[in-house]
Amino acid sequence: GAVVSQHPSRVICKSGTSVKIECRSLDFQATTMFWYRQFPKQSLMLMATSNEGSKATYEQGVEKDKFLINHASLTLSTLTVTSAHPEDSSFYICSARDRRVAGLSNSPLHFGNGTRLTVT
């Protein structure tokens, strides 16, 4: 089945530093990937849509200069949390849809295993 690899699974960084999270589709290509933040009470918040070869589309209220997204190839999107602060500590999850079926209404999302970011 379709696999999305997210790395690292866990990272601890100091306040003020930047952290990069990678999301790779291993056996399919994705023109679009999605980045979410999951809060302690479990709800998923869509942060942005990562578009291969073009700028990401950010959801309202998400700072694009703080959460930099790059989607340089059909199999890789990265999220960089810049100048991280303790309030950025969270669980970040990416997902992708196989480009071959992305236009079909029944195509599911494939999720990475998430990255637990802790900013001290």
8 Å CB contact between 6 and 79: no
- When binding is defined by CB under 8 A, the residue of 16, 64, 108, 120 that contacts another protein is 108
Q: Is 42 in the site for another protein (CB under 8 A)?
A: yes
8 Å CB contact between 12 and 118: yes
- When binding is defined by CB under 8 A, the residue of 44, 68, 74, 76 that contacts another protein is 44
CA 43 to each of CA 14, 16, 38, 76, 115: distance values in angstroms, whole numbers, following the listed order: 26, 27, 6, 25, 15
Q: Is 106 in the site for another protein (CB under 8 A)?
A: yes
Judged by beta carbon, residue 20 or residue 116, the one nearer another protein is: 116
Q: Is 35 in the site for another protein (CB under 8 A)?
A: no
Measured over the CA atoms of residue 6, residue 8, residue 11 and residue 16, the dihedral's sign is: negative
| Closest C-alpha among 114, 110, 108 to residue 79 | 114
Q: Is 12 in the site for another protein (CB under 8 A)?
A: no
- Chain positions contacting another protein, by CB under 8 A: 4, 6, 32, 34, 41-44, 46, 49, 57, 93, 95, 97, 102-114, 116
